[in-house]
Amino acid sequence: VHDYVIIGAGTAGCVLAARLTEDPSVSVLLLEAGPADRAREIGVPIAFSKLFKSEYDWDYTTEPQKQLNERECYWPRGRVLGGSSSINAMIYIRGNRADYDAWRDAGNDGWGFDDLLRFFRRSENNSRGESAWHGVGGPVDVQDLRYRSRITDASVTAALERGHRFNDDFNAARQLGMGFWQVTQRRGRRVSAASAFLRPATGRPNLTVHTNTSATRLVVERGRVVGVEAVTGGRRDRYGAEREVLVCAGAVNTPHLLLLSGIGPADELRSLGIDVVADSPNVGRNLQDHVAIGASWFTDSGRSYDTAETPWNTARYLLGRRGPYTSNVAEGGGFHATDGGDLPDLQLLFGPTGYLRHGLEAAPGPCFSLGAYLLTPESRGTVRLRSPHPGDKPLIDPGYLDEPSDRQRLLDGLRECLAIGEASALSRYRTGRFLPARDDENSLVEHIQEWAETIYHPVGTAAMGPAPTDVVDPALRVRGVDGLRVADASVMPTVPRGNTNTPTMVIAERSVELIRTDPA
């Protein structure tokens, strides 16, 4: 029996395992469904999409999306030590102050931006040095890209030509503007939650890690979660938790596990023959995700990463960790407010590649692309049970673009990409438009219906809040049972304006203090 059992060694789970075991008197068991993070592609930044549909991916598919030609959209999610941080695009973005202040103002004390800044800084080791905004000496290396395509530089120049301001640091006072991302990398290699947090902690006698071990059910006795049932290979085991079970399985698997364990909407559970442990109406509801659309141009400049896999570039990487292989592909971009105000509602991404269907489909020739995604979607979706069997994937319905205002703003985003892509700064790299082929409104709407895809930021399916119907309270304790907490992307009440890895890390950092002061 351990003090804490953590389910899921992803972004949040690795932070929790490392921070909790800093106290030698506390024992922790970390269970991870996937294998160790040994694949070479995990370390090599440009290769992240080669991990899609591999043994390191849960390989989810959404329900048919009404607004997207009834397409079933592919959702990668990391299934490996490090979780999605081992397969993600490494962009380091915190979101907007207003995102966290809205969480706080909704009744989540301690979750405002000023409350969280010290946790952001604590995790960070920023190569630009310490400042009021940034930390040094933390476990997560945050660096500027070692290599950028000239197409990305020209894309940023084209955006400035369009009237956007240059932004040198999206994680400081001002989020709006265009520029180049900082990434979670160290000298040209990926930094994941596993490499940053877990690896340095693995020697500790108070930390046990089981890979290839899937939690299938929480064990509840008289209203208290006392352990976890899990499967390793064909073997079923039970792991006891003296103090708490901490669920860090991500925005899809966390609600899935709660539902399988009888914590969720009572009618939904009963209809599948699951005994209701706690009637919690919002488990698996409130799903939010960032949906993206791109525009692509052909280029014969030799600068597209569609042709980057060469012996020369391989040698540059192997010998000195230099060149395009150190790139995270989406090298630049920025934040834009369609209403002209201070709060962005679109994020733009610039990458010297076609990146069709998550890079799984080859473009007919070398391309570069500019993409936009909606930061503040009004549409909401669900994660529900397909069956009471843990091995069956859950039903995921993000409800993409169900709200008309979301459709309008994504269309605005696509138009912005087209305007930037056609600006003169990119003329020397453009040999012709690939997608969309035409610019009239109908064609653009059809382009979105055919090509919009996730940009990988699902959150909100076990959201925190002060109401009795909110899944977790502001200390992240699951309502309706004792001894259980959720700390991962599922607890976000609303998706922040930006990529979600760093916000998830900060949720985990803060949860450690909550675990110490407010036991579940």
Given the rule CB under 6 A, which residues bind ligand FAD?
Answer: 7-13, 31-34, 76-79, 83-85, 87-91, 93, 214-215, 248-251, 253, 257, 456-457, 488-489, 499-502, 504
One-letter amino acid for residue 234 of the chain: G
Q: Closer CB to ligand FAD, residue 360 or residue 362?
A: 360
CB of 176 vs ligand FAD, minimal distance in Å: 19
How far apart CA 498 and CA 503 sit, in angstroms, is 9
Q: Closer CB to ligand FAD, residue 85 or residue 301?
A: 85
Is 358 among the residues known to form the active site? no
Q: Closer CB to ligand FAD, residue 331 or residue 436?
A: 331
How far apart CA 265 and CA 278 sit, in angstroms, is 8
Residue indicated by tokens 């559970």: 269
Q: What CA–CA distances, in Å, run from 312 to 308, 322, 323, 330?
A: 9, 11, 9, 22
How far apart CA 8 and CA 31 sit, in angstroms, is 6
**Which residues are bridge partners to 7 per DSSP?**
31, 247
Q: Closer CB to ligand FAD, residue 350 or residue 456?
A: 456
CB of 451 vs ligand FAD, minimal distance in Å: 17
CB of 411 vs ligand FAD, minimal distance in Å: 24
Sign of CA dihedral 461, 116, 480, 83: positive
Is the Cβ–Cβ distance between 345 and 354 less than 8 Å?
no
CB of 144 vs ligand FAD, minimal distance in Å: 15
Catalytic residue among 2, 134, 256, 457: 457
Q: Closer CB to ligand FAD, residue 251 or residue 481?
A: 251
CB of 478 vs ligand FAD, minimal distance in Å: 16
How far apart CA 516 and CA 16 sit, in angstroms, is 12
- Using N-to-C axis directions, what is the helix angle for 11-20 and 501-517, rounded to 10°? 40
CB of 431 vs ligand FAD, minimal distance in Å: 29
- What does residue 402 show for φ and ψ, rounded to 5 degrees? -60, -35
Residue 178 exposed, middle or buried by CB count within 10 Å (0-12, 13-18, 19+): buried
How far apart CA 170 and CA 177 sit, in angstroms, is 8
Rg (CA), the chain: 22
Q: Closer CB to ligand FAD, residue 120 or residue 298?
A: 120
How far apart CA 116 and CA 124 sit, in angstroms, is 13
Is the Cβ–Cβ distance between 235 and 475 less than 8 Å?
no
CB of 161 vs ligand FAD, minimal distance in Å: 26
Strand 263-264 relative to strand 60-61, pairing: unpaired
310 Cβ contact list (under 8 Å, min separation 6): none
CB of 180 vs ligand FAD, minimal distance in Å: 13
Query: Cβ of 302: how many Cβ atoms within 10 Å?
Result: 10
The residue at minimum Cβ distance from ligand FAD is 10
DSSP states of 123-146? HEEETT---SS--SSSSEEEEE-S
How far apart CA 287 and CA 398 sit, in angstroms, is 6
Q: Closer CB to ligand FAD, residue 80 or residue 444?
A: 80
CB of 442 vs ligand FAD, minimal distance in Å: 31
CB of 189 vs ligand FAD, minimal distance in Å: 15
Q: Closer CB to ligand FAD, residue 13 or residue 413?
A: 13
Is the Cβ–Cβ distance between 261 and 218 less than 8 Å?
yes
How far apart CA 243 and CA 307 sit, in angstroms, is 53
How far apart CA 402 and CA 67 sit, in angstroms, is 6
Q: Closer CB to ligand FAD, residue 299 or residue 461?
A: 461
- What does residue 268 show for φ and ψ, rounded to 5 degrees? -65, -40
Q: Closer CB to ligand FAD, residue 10 or residue 294?
A: 10
Is the Cβ–Cβ distance between 470 and 506 less than 8 Å?
no
**Measuring CA to CA, which residue among 432, 423, 17 is closest to residue 204?**
17
Which DSSP letter does residue 478 get?
A: B
**Which residues are bridge partners to 65 per DSSP?**
71
Mind telling me the catalytic residues?
A: 457
